[in-house]
Amino acid sequence: MTHNDAKTSKLNFQGDIFVLFLLIHEVIMKQEVSYKNSLLTNDDLKLLDEGKWLNDKLIGFAFEYIEDAYPKCLLVSPEATQLLNLGSPEDASSVLSSLNAGEKDLILFPLNDCITPTEIGGSHWSLLVFDVKAGQCFHLDSSLDFNFQTAARFCKKLSLPFISPSNVKSINCVQQKNGYDCGIHVICNANHILDNYSKGVPLFETLGDVTSYKHKRKEMKTAILKLLSN
């Protein structure tokens, strides 16, 4: 490499860093990022920092971002999932019909342990997967099935004809090592399951390792910055 080549390479690197700085600055100054039905504020984006608990808006964004690649799969938003969780079977049938759930192969729900309409939020996320062809519900929980009873109650409220109300199986999955990564595990598990689905292999054949979960926050930040740069 010549002196000029080295100088050009250095300038290119500095230019990339400057562009990244501008993108991050834009997120901070703009205060919000929109994607389809998701709208993230700067406060939401801060929750992607290590040690933070992901809220429904970040999980909803991730589900919408993932879903584009899988037209035969339905990733239900946290808000709609909570509506189903707290509503009647009739409400569930109406909501799922409006989402064309009966035309899908898989339906994924991000479950929250909040079961009281008068309370805000909750303390734990888990993932419920309904395999339409198999007529089977599966529950993946990164905290020793903490949400299993919530999952069982949720399935009983689903009144679509092809859902067996009490047929819920718990699936072994990677367990979180802290008290705040449950939302990250929901997103990663959804990613791995849909990847297996696209390859035509058993849905739970591989669910990744600790490394894939560890880097998911960085991947989400990168995806958001990419959207801003387009």
pLDDT tens digit sequence for 147-162: 999 999 888 877 555 6
The residue among 84 and 170 whose pLDDT is bigger is 170
Average pLDDT of the residues of the chain: 83
> Residue range 92-117: average pLDDT?
87
Tell me what pLDDT residue 208 has: 80
Tell me what pLDDT residue 153 has: 87
- Please, what sign has the CA dihedral across residues 172, 178, 63, 199? negative
Residues in the chain: 230
Cα angle: 216, vertex 212, 126; to 5 degrees: 70
Q: What is the DSSP string of 147-189?
A: THHHHHHHHHH---TT--TT-EEEE--PPPSSSS-HHHHHHHH
Tell me what pLDDT residue 156 has: 80
- Give tens-digit pLDDT for 51-64: 999 999 999 999 99
Catalytic residues: 124, 141, 182
